Amino acid sequence: MQTLLTLSIALFAGLMLSRLAKLLKLPAVTAYLVAGILVGPYLLGAFGVAGLGFTSMENIDTYGLLSDVALGFIAFSIGNEFRWSQLKKTGRQATIIGIFQAVVATLLVDAALIGLHFLMPDKLPLPTAIVLGAVASATAPAATLMVVRQYKAKGPLTDLLLPIVALDDAVGLVLFAVSFGVAKALVMGHVDVLSVVLEPILEVVCSLLLGLVMGLLFSFFERFFHSRSKRLAMSVTFVFLTVALSMVEFHIGGVHVAFSSLLVCMMLGTVFCNVCDFSEELMGRVDRWTAPLFVLFFVISGAELELSVFREWTVVLIGAVYILFRSAGKYFGASLSARATKCEPSIVKYLGVTLLPQAGVALGMAIKAETLGECGALVANITLFSVLIYELVGPYLTKVALTHAGEIEPEGKVSARGETIHK
* C-alpha–C-alpha distance, residues 351 and 337, integer Å: 10
The torsion defined by the Cα of 294, 295, 299 and 304, in degrees rounded to 10, comes to: 0
The Cα–Cα gap between 193 and 200 comes to 11
Maximal CA-CA distance, the chain: 68
Q: Where are the beta strands (DSSP E) in 180-269?
A: 250-252, 255-257
Segment 142-153 mean pLDDT: 82
Average pLDDT over residues 103-120: 91
Q: What is the pLDDT of residues 347-386, one digit of tens each?
A: 999 998 888 887 767 777 777 777 777 787 788 788 878 8
Residue 51 bridge partners (DSSP): 53
* pTM: predicted TM-score of the whole model, two decimal places: 0.77
Residue 40 backbone phi and psi in degrees, to 5:
-85, -175
Q: What is the pLDDT of residue 190?
A: 61
DSSP state of 321: H
Residue 242 pLDDT: 93
The gap between the terminal CA atoms of the chain, to the nearest Å, is 37
Euclidean distance between CA atoms 33 and 300, whole angstroms: 8
- 206 touches 261 (CB < 8 A): no
Give φ, ψ of 226 to 5 degrees. -115, -20
Assess contact for 259 and 204: CB atoms under 8 A. Answer: no
The band of 138, judged by pLDDT with boundaries at 50, 70 and 90, is: confident
DSSP state of 113: H
Q: pLDDT value at position 100?
A: 92
pLDDT of residue 410: 65
Instruction: State how far the Cα of 111 lies from the Cα of 39, in Å rounded to an integer.
Output: 38
Spatial CA neighbour of 361 closest among 158, 169, 89: 169
d(CA 45, CA 13): 13
In one-letter notation, the amino acid at residue 423 is K
Residues sharing a CB contact under 8 Å with residue 197, sequence separation 6 or more, in sequence order: 178, 181
What is the sign of the dihedral through the CA atoms of 412, 415, 420 and 423? negative
Please check the confidence at residue 156 and state whether its pLDDT lies above 70. yes
Show Cβ contacts of residue 61 under 8 Å, excluding neighbours closer than 6 positions: none
Residue 421: predicted pLDDT: 53
What is the spatial distance between Cα 408 and Cα 156, in angstroms, rounded to a whole number? 12
Instruction: Report the alpha-carbon distance of residue 271 to residue 256 in Å, rounded.
Output: 27
**In the prediction, which pLDDT does 414 show?**
43
Q: Which of 357, 402, 379 is nearest to 139 (CA)?
A: 357
Asked if residue 412 lies in contact with residue 404, where contact means CB atoms within 8 angstroms, the answer is no
pLDDT over 70 (residue 99): yes
Whole-number pLDDT of residue 237: 92
Mean pLDDT of the 75-98 span: 80
* Cβ–Cβ < 8 Å for 60, 40: yes
pLDDT 10s digits, 188-222? 766 566 666 677 778 888 888 999 999 999 988 88
Given a cut of 60, is residue 419 above it in pLDDT?
Answer: no
Q: Which residues contact 35 (CB under 8 A, 6 or more apart)?
A: 10, 13, 14, 16, 17, 299, 302
